[in-house]
Amino acid sequence: MVRFANPAQFQRLSDMLLPWFAWATVILVPVGLYYALVNSPADYQQGETVRIMYLHVPAAWMALFTYTMMAVASAVSLIWKHPLADVAARAAAPLGAAFTALALITGMLWGEPMWGTWWVWDARLTSVLILFFLYLGYIALWDAIDNPATASRAAAILALVGFVNVPIIKFSVDWWNTLHQPASVLKMGGPAIHPDMLVPLFLMFALFKCYFVTVLLWRMKAELNRAKIRGLEAAVQAAAERREQAA
């Protein structure tokens, strides 16, 4: 995988992968929505409200997955100085923030009819809100610091420190007494959800994952192209200054 840290190698790899993930996203949109909103049964207790699960759960999974990816990329950036690590983490941050916001909004829409309230300050909801602020803080650090090397180091440290929140989110329903239901898919003994609901859930998760990879590759390619343009502009400016000095 080290050779793919080379920007030129990455550009060739992303050119090969992008069409596959983009077409998979396009195909999974109608398939996933059909199975989630039409084909899957209503819950015997929650009724049609259970369909919010097909957006809420994949969004929550992707929020945790994206931050974990950012933390790994930040560690790679700090330790091995791979040129694409910062690009990947920075490109993923807005996507992770969007997934987290979607998880919070759909969670509130689901919670009001189930719990009788839009929000409670229990461990799961509060830790996910903290995750959202970590995403915003990471994005703000990159924009607030002019020196790219300093911004990279500060953002990477924040991502690594904030990663402690990921296992807290995952195990909060087991460690503390909360209104949020415990894990029903990724648990010992297998999923507690009927296959008629589990299949649409995994289809929607596949849709979210393919969308994430597609947009991540696009954003990384765009950032690399911007860096190339900045380098060319700097070279042109330096050449013009040398001509002025020579004259």
Q: What pLDDT digit, counting tens, does each position of 132-173 carry?
A: 999 999 999 999 998 989 999 999 999 999 999 999 998 887
pLDDT at residue 53 in the model: 92
CATH number of the domain within which 132 lies: 1.20.120
Asked if residue 90 is part of any domain, the answer here is yes
pLDDT at residue 174 in the model: 75
- pLDDT band at residue 183 under the 50/70/90 scheme: low
For residues 77 and 70, is the Cβ–Cβ distance under 8 A?
A: no
* Residue located via tokens 């999923």: 191
Asked if residue 205 is part of any domain, the answer here is yes
Asked if residue 224 is part of any domain, the answer here is no
Please give the tally of structural domains in the chain. Answer: 1
SS3 assignment for the chain: CHHHHCHHHHHHHHHHHHHHHHHHHHHHHHHHHHHHHHHCCCECCCEHHHHHHHHHHHHHHHHHHHHHHHHHHHHHHHHHCCCCHHHHHHHHHHHHHHHHHHHHHHHHHHHHHHHCCCCCCCHHHHHHHHHHHHHHHHHHHHHHCCCHHHHHHHHHHHHHHHCCHHHHHHHHHHHCCCCCCCCCCCCCCCCCCCHHHHHHHHHHHHHHHHHHHHHHHHHHHHHHHHHHHHHHHHHHHHHHHHHHHHC
> Which structural domain, as residue segments, surrounds residue 135?
27-183+191-212
- pLDDT band at residue 103 under the 50/70/90 scheme: very high
Q: What pLDDT digit, counting tens, does each position of 49-88 carry?
A: 899 999 999 999 999 999 999 999 999 999 988 879 999 9
